A and B are shown apart, each in its own frame.
Chain A
Amino acid sequence: MTDLLTPVLSANWGTAKSWDIGAYAAGGGYAALDKAFAMTPDQVTELVKDAGLRGRGGAGFPTGMKWSFVPKDNPNPKYLVVNADESEPGTCKDIPLLLASPHTLVEGMIIASYAIGCHTAFVYIRGEVLHVVRRLRNAVEQAYAAGHLGKDIHGSGYDLDIIVHAGAGAYICGEETALLDSLEGRRGQPRLRPPFPAVAGLYASPTVINNVESIATVPSIVVNGSSWFSAMGTEKSKGMTIYSLSGHVTRPGQFEAPLGVTLRELLELSGGIRDGHQLKFWTPGGSSTPILTGEHLDVPLDYEGMAGVGSMLGTKALQVFDETVSVVRTTLRWVEFYKHESCGKCTPCREGSWWLVQLLKQFEDGVAAPGDVDKLLDICDNIGGKSFCALADGAVACVTSAVRHFRPEFEAGYHTPARELFPYGRSALFEVPEGSHA
């Protein structure tokens, strides 16, 4: 039985100048490189497969398997692209990782690139995090100066360049094919698949796209072995991962634990719901994952556990809301986000998210017409699963799950404004003056 918390990726975040190569190397950083170079690329891929590492960006696809899909006989260059466009509402794990320990990602990228035979790798980082961009660029420069990047790395004969690319504000670019279009200097709009990026990705060449945390996990697997990694977690969800607890909890923060920990356990560590309040609803992995309630406190936070209760593990972004919060208000705000971020390519998403916002505003204002809950669900039914990418699915997941768990609260929107039922100021962490519209 492993401990309740198992800091690996976050173990060095509190050390002095943790972002600097000196501190990183002093803690054993870059030791995985020679170990990886002593193996064949295929052996590295097999090691990651054996460990059972699954993608930490939301979908949970096995990382090693993704690498093995890159065709060996394709004459084009191969590319690794790290998705650091962390923008899913509630998700806040990759940004602190990159701020505190950007070298962990750089080391992981070198190993992953070696495994797939790539010589140019990219980090696509959202633009709205200036200091994280600074730290990451600084880390890449330091890695070149130390001989971990460039030509003939560590005398292995292997060459790699890393390009850090800052985005410009578009949630959709976290979707891997939209990210590729954006990285090619276009509007970030998803591509139809097939062909999959492993065959025709960046510049129509074989491309692997992985989340920051997935790649940052690789050095620890190389150093400690696949059985070390798979000793943590559950049968099908192996290893440790970062859970981000936010919202109405006494102490929000990042918790690195084996997959399968429960929200009840994490809440106990964080001092529970804020004083004098009770849990109302929560998301397991960002706003695109269907909401859950107090009934689900003991469900393992792993891929299977969350799927078993009709949700998804997603990015492990546990947003916790207490009884003061209007679920109608929250749902509307999430859907406004999706409406704004819909890239406009697919009609059901572009138009449907617009209609959802209009209708949900009427619920919030208490002027929805009797029967509009069914209209809401009907519109959702016409959006979900009918677009190129999963943005639309996320937009409807928060609505359908909110109605599933809190239908009477939506029906109250036929006659009573949400702010009367749930005075908004009570949800704030500070006193909101009388007469505020907020």
Chain B
Amino acid sequence: MSGHEFKSFFPDSGEVDMADTSTNIDETTIAELRELAARYPQPRSALLPMLHLVQSVDGRVSPAGIEACADVLGITTAQVSGVATFYTMYRRRPAGKHHVGVCTTALCAVMGGDALLERVEHKLGIGPDETTADGTFSLERIECNAACDFAPVMMVNWEFMDNMTPEKAEKLIDDLADGKDVASTRGATITSWREAERVLAGFPDGRADEGPSAGEASLLGKSIADAKGWAAPKPEETAL
């Protein structure tokens, strides 16, 4: 032994935990993995959705999931691991039932995101990339989630929680912990991280009609235009 152990600078990187061999992957999962592969002109294109499905079944990217993907696609487990460790949404350790994200990219951070993260860490008793002992929550310091006009932003299981405050964040966590119905501000009723991962993999949950069409900020320009009587020109006014 050299005595030198490689330590990554990136807190969320690292290898897939090969020691934890537990899995729920069964024949149904394998059939669904094959179904995903068949949706693309070339099967390997399905690898990202397939890994989302593995997470929905095993709560993380499991060694058995990596082998199943490799088998279905006819590639090596090293190739699958290489992909699984590149993307931040793939978890190498079990995520919580609810995966909470707090945006701390520049704009959200200065508008309160840093303070929100501090409060949520304290409330949950865990830091980023950790999971509570009871498995209910995992926490992530997320990057810009394309909702800057609703800053500061949090996400739960990749559903928007817009215009957050520390008080709202605490209530959100209490309500989720108590198993109450919680609705995203621009999305559906919160289900679970695993169910969300299944939808991302490509198996709909029938909730597309839940939630509003848009948030207030999204409609601001249109509502001002309506109030002022502003509109795009009429085609007949612009004909050559």
| A and B part of one assembly | yes
Q: Given A100-B213, A325-B110, do A232 and B232 touch, yes or no (CB 8 Å)?
A: yes
Q: How far is the CA of A14 from the CA of B221 in the complex (A)?
A: 11
Contact string against B for A residues 304-346, beta-carbon threshold 8 Å, 1 for contact and 0 otherwise: 0000000000000101010001000110011001001101000
Whether B196 sits at the interface, judged by CB under 8 Å, is yes
In contact, A8 and B232 (Cβ under 8 angstroms):
yes
- The residue of chain B having its C-beta at the shortest distance from the C-beta of A77 within the complex is B41
Q: How far is the CA of A326 from the CA of B14 in the complex (A)?
A: 33
Residues of B contacting A95 in the complex (Cβ-Cβ under 8 angstroms): 146-147
How distant is A92 from chain B, measured CB to nearest CB, in Å?
5
Within 8 A of B (CB), among A353-369: 354
Q: Given A5-B221, A100-B213, do A184 and B39 touch, yes or no (CB 8 Å)?
A: no
Residues of A contacting B217 in the complex (Cβ-Cβ under 8 angstroms): 251-254
A and B contact pairs by CB, cutoff 8 A, 6 listed = A8-B232, A141-B204, A163-B40, A231-B238, A337-B105, A427-B111
Cβ-neighbour of A18 out of B9, B118, B214, B223 (below 8 A) = B214
Whether A245 sits at the interface, judged by CB under 8 Å, is yes
Q: How far is the CA of A294 from the CA of B2 in the complex (A)?
A: 57
How distant is A314 from chain B, measured CB to nearest CB, in Å?
13
- Of the stretches A64-72, A104-112, A122-130, A380-388, the one at the interface is A122-130
In contact, A429 and B230 (Cβ under 8 angstroms):
no
Known: A89-B143, A429-B152. 5 other contacts (CB 8 A): A3-B228, A89-B144, A131-B210, A246-B149, A252-B151
- The residue of chain B having its C-beta at the shortest distance from the C-beta of A269 within the complex is B224
Contact string against B for A residues 1-18, beta-carbon threshold 8 Å, 1 for contact and 0 otherwise: 011111110110111111
In contact, A187 and B86 (Cβ under 8 angstroms):
yes
Residues of B contacting A214 in the complex (Cβ-Cβ under 8 angstroms): none
Residues of B contacting A321 in the complex (Cβ-Cβ under 8 angstroms): 107, 110
In contact, A3 and B230 (Cβ under 8 angstroms):
yes
Residues of A contacting B201 in the complex (Cβ-Cβ under 8 angstroms): 166
Whether A26 sits at the interface, judged by CB under 8 Å, is no
- The residue of chain A having its C-beta at the shortest distance from the C-beta of B110 within the complex is A427
Whether A185 sits at the interface, judged by CB under 8 Å, is yes
Whether B171 sits at the interface, judged by CB under 8 Å, is no
Q: How far is the CA of A284 from the CA of B240 in the complex (A)?
A: 33
Whether B77 sits at the interface, judged by CB under 8 Å, is no
In contact, B218 and A13 (Cβ under 8 angstroms):
yes
> Top 8 closest A-B pairs, CB basis?
A253-B220, A438-B114, A185-B47, A255-B221, A131-B187, A168-B87, A3-B230, A169-B88
In contact, B10 and A340 (Cβ under 8 angstroms):
yes
In contact, B213 and A168 (Cβ under 8 angstroms):
no
Contact string against A for B residues 32-73, beta-carbon threshold 8 Å, 1 for contact and 0 otherwise: 000000011110111111011000000000000000000001
Whether A138 sits at the interface, judged by CB under 8 Å, is yes
Cβ-neighbour of B225 out of A3, A188, A270 (below 8 A) = A3
Q: Given A130-B199, A133-B200, do A254 and B211 touch, yes or no (CB 8 Å)?
A: no
Q: Given A77-B41, A183-B45, do A436 and B221 touch, yes or no (CB 8 Å)?
A: no
Residues of B contacting A269 in the complex (Cβ-Cβ under 8 angstroms): 221, 224
How distant is B183 from chain A, measured CB to nearest CB, in Å?
11
Residues of A contacting B106 in the complex (Cβ-Cβ under 8 angstroms): 89, 287, 319, 330, 333-334, 337
In contact, A10 and B187 (Cβ under 8 angstroms):
no
Q: How far is the CA of A184 from the CA of B75 in the complex (A)?
A: 13
Whether A19 sits at the interface, judged by CB under 8 Å, is yes
Q: How far is the CA of A86 from the CA of B144 in the complex (A)?
A: 9
Whether B154 sits at the interface, judged by CB under 8 Å, is no
Q: How far is the CA of A427 from the CA of B146 in the complex (A)?
A: 20
In contact, A429 and B87 (Cβ under 8 angstroms):
no
- Of the stretches B15-23, B127-135, B159-167, B173-181, the one at the interface is B159-167
- The residue of chain A having its C-beta at the shortest distance from the C-beta of B203 within the complex is A137
Cβ-neighbour of B48 out of A165, A231, A257 (below 8 A) = A165
In contact, A138 and B214 (Cβ under 8 angstroms):
no
Q: How far is the CA of A3 from the CA of B222 in the complex (A)?
A: 12
Whether B235 sits at the interface, judged by CB under 8 Å, is yes
